[in-house]
Structure 1
Amino acid sequence: MKRSQLLSLICLLLVSSVCSAIKADTSGVFTNPLLGSGPDPWVIRHDGMYYYMHTTGHHLVIRKTTKMSALSQAKEVVIWTPPAKGPNARDIWAPELHRLNNKWYLYYSAGSSDSIHPQHTFVLENTAADPTTGTWTDKGQVRDTAANCFAIDGTVFTHKGKNYFIWSGHNGKDVVQRLYIARMENPWTLVSPRVEISAPQYPWEQNGINEGPEILRNAKHHVFLVFSACGCWTDNYTLGIMRLKEGADPLQASSWIKSPEPVLKAKPENGAYAPGHNGFFKSPDGKQDWIIYHANSKVAEGCGLQRNPRMQVVQWKADGSPDFGEPVKINTPIKNPSGE
């Protein structure tokens, strides 16, 4: 091959490679599921970076990315492994990262190594700018006025300059999972008595389950609480919603109004069984709200690691309430979040 021909071939290959890369970067679509496994997904955006977590059962792992549509390309970083013994040694569930007072706080549910005590919620602290680096310090159990009761799925709700903790737990009398709220003195201490704000009451909340509470705000800063109901072991796991009355005290049970209908439910023909345990995040340009949730792709897969993370854009109704639509069919192209 002549030198000129070789140079031409090299140039052609380079152009082809560049074009392929450009095509891949500008395809503008992704498909669900985002990962093969990812129960209880959680996303937070900070300084242009998305940090993603989900339940593994045995440790805490973070992925970071600038594009949620490319989550599968993000490297997993193990940031914490539980002790061999103690109150937080097993069944590591539902991790959530929160940025409070210029520090990272990671809330998670865990059980005791003695297999007797129920799940409780614990928190870790990290002063590093990037939560995949630095040192995580154990701040212990987030204790409420019924410290020995089952308590999982804790999340932080900041409202009018105050922080509140919302979680799913038992009342000490039965095994019904209710939603509770308490005001926080600091990221690991509750300063007010707990208040029950939701208990199962509708047919779609069967099996006595209200769990996975998450806060969503609209453009006018109205507050909604989206939660999971029915039980992850069933194919009917679903999302319900509550609204905080405008100007009302979050610590008053009457301030929260529950919708009588679920807002996201199973769609078997779309490969979406038991959708639930969601989180929310903004698109890179801040113009869109997105929901991330897990679902099973096949019938009767229950609460295992087959649950996989999916995301789709949130639409807003004329009355200001969110519209999640139905779970998008798996392997169907979805337009990337705006600003990617």
Structure 2
Amino acid sequence: MRNYKRLLYGVSLFLALGAGCKKEADDVQQKPNPPGPVTANTFTNPLLPSGPDPWVYQQNDTYYYTHTLGNRIGLIKTKAISQLGKEAFTTVWAPSVGEPYSQNIWAPEIHQLNGKWYIYFAADNGNDVNHRMYVLENASADPTTGTWTMKGKLTPTTDRWAIDGSVFEHGGQLYFIWSGWVGTNDPGIQQIYIAKMTNPWTIEGDRVMISRPTFNWEMNGLVNEGPEVIKNAAGKVFMVYSASGCWTDSYSLGRLTLRDNGNPMNPDDWIKSPAPVFATKAENNAFGPGHNGFFKSPDGTEDWIIYHANSFAGQGCGNARSPRIQKFTWNADGTPNFGEPVKINTPLLRPSGEVK
């Protein structure tokens, strides 16, 4: 996400660290190797030079990609996510001036629910304290066409600052998950909340907090955000989220696991991994990897993660964050194994079944 108040905080923090830390950062910020030779069967990360908060939704062998553009929402429709650099955005929605959601449009996600398309996004009126979650609807078969209409603000009983919204279904119930503040006007701690939904644009009742920063690796900025759900082949539910401040290189991915037969609305039924599951790899030019999503290869045989990261230390929450993808596997206990961020500019095999 692009929280400029927190970005300013991050700048101040780095200045306070002194010349010794500056030299260390300068040593790390070496120019990466140029891209290796790419063939018809390979690609290199990053996919685009800029793309904070990347998101992919898969419909059979078609993929819809989006990321934070700030003043509008755009989609790329493609058969090959690894080839995003050859595609262009179609702007599908832009707000009218003067609305509560006219500015700072962050982290859009597109989902298909009950035969219609929905885009969830965070926005405000120019004042960060007013950030809330909103949802658009489109009944067209192709979400890059037709009309997107504003369905409104997603509001639990306790209406507070909110960003990074997503949805998932479990046991026949639709849930909304997001990152928010406890209070009304103090950034404080960002926590992950969940609420039931009566339909794709309406929250039922109040929010329940299911995760807050508790381990040391989450405390560099006191942030839990960007929650995303993935299920394994047996239907076990995992929530992968971003921890620590995006203005730090400590930004990383954590994981919550829903207990077998657990209730998603019960915080005690979510078990937090004690260590990050995906973190900075300086020698691979991957700093602060986070804000992820998941998709399958076109032939359905491979699992892939999409995320953003910076290529150099100290680049923070801005547009230097670039989208990257890599294949991941599953551990013997059924948990996802993301490995470590792969080295940029290094040829990787394209997702299996991608059109050449």
TM-score, normalised to structure 1, is 0.90
- 1:246 to 2:260 alignment: yes
Q: Distance in 1 between matches of 2:85 and 2:233?
A: 30
Kept after mapping to 2: 8 A contact 1:146/1:171: no
SS of aligned partner of 1:192: strand
Q: Distance in 2 between matches of 1:48 and 1:328?
A: 25
Shift of 1:70: 1.1
- 1:60 to 2:73 alignment: yes
SS of aligned partner of 2:206: coil
In the alignment, residue 305 of structure 2 is paired with which amino acid?
I
Identity of aligned residues (%): 53
Q: Distance in 2 between matches of 1:269 and 1:39?
A: 21
Q: Distance in 2 between matches of 1:78 and 1:153?
A: 20
Map of 1:1-20 to 2, 5 A cutoff?
Answer: none
Aligned residues: 315
Q: Distance in 1 between matches of 2:157 and 2:123?
A: 19
Question: Alignment RMSD, CA only?
Answer: 1.4
CA deviation digits over 1:74-130, x for unaligned, max 9? 2210111122112101100000001001000000000124x2742110000000111
Partner of 2:55: 42
Q: Distance in 1 between matches of 2:329 and 2:348?
A: 14
Partner of 2:164: 153
Partner of 2:339: 325
- 1:122 to 2:109 alignment: no
Q: Distance in 2 between matches of 1:166 and 1:146?
A: 14
Partner of 1:108: 121
Q: Distance in 2 between matches of 1:27 and 1:58?
A: 35
SS of aligned partner of 1:224: strand
Q: Distance in 2 between matches of 1:79 and 1:333?
A: 32
CA deviation digits over 1:117-160, x for unaligned, max 9? 4211000000011111000000111001211x111100001111
Partner of 2:22: none
Unaligned runs of 5+ in 1: 1-22
CA deviation digits over 1:156-186, x for unaligned, max 9? 0111111000000011175211001010001
Partner of 2:155: 143
Unaligned runs of 5+ in 2: 1-36
Map of 1:1-340 to 2, 5 A cutoff?
Answer: 27-113=40-126, 115=127, 117-147=129-159, 149-172=160-183, 175-206=188-219, 207-340=221-354
Q: Distance in 2 between matches of 1:98 and 1:192?
A: 22
SS of aligned partner of 2:283: helix
Q: Distance in 2 between matches of 1:259 and 1:181?
A: 19
SS of aligned partner of 2:70: coil
In the alignment, residue 229 of structure 1 is paired with which amino acid?
A
In the alignment, residue 139 of structure 2 is paired with which amino acid?
T
Closer, same or farther: CA 47–324 of 1 in aligned 2, 3 Å: closer
In the alignment, residue 99 of structure 2 is paired with which amino acid?
G
Kept after mapping to 1: 8 A contact 2:60/2:298: no
Q: Distance in 2 between matches of 1:221 and 1:334?
A: 29
Q: Distance in 2 between matches of 1:316 and 1:116?
A: 38
Q: Distance in 2 between matches of 1:162 and 1:286?
A: 26
Q: Distance in 2 between matches of 1:183 and 1:286?
A: 30
CA deviation digits over 1:176-234, x for unaligned, max 9? 11001010001111113211100100011111100000011111111100000111111
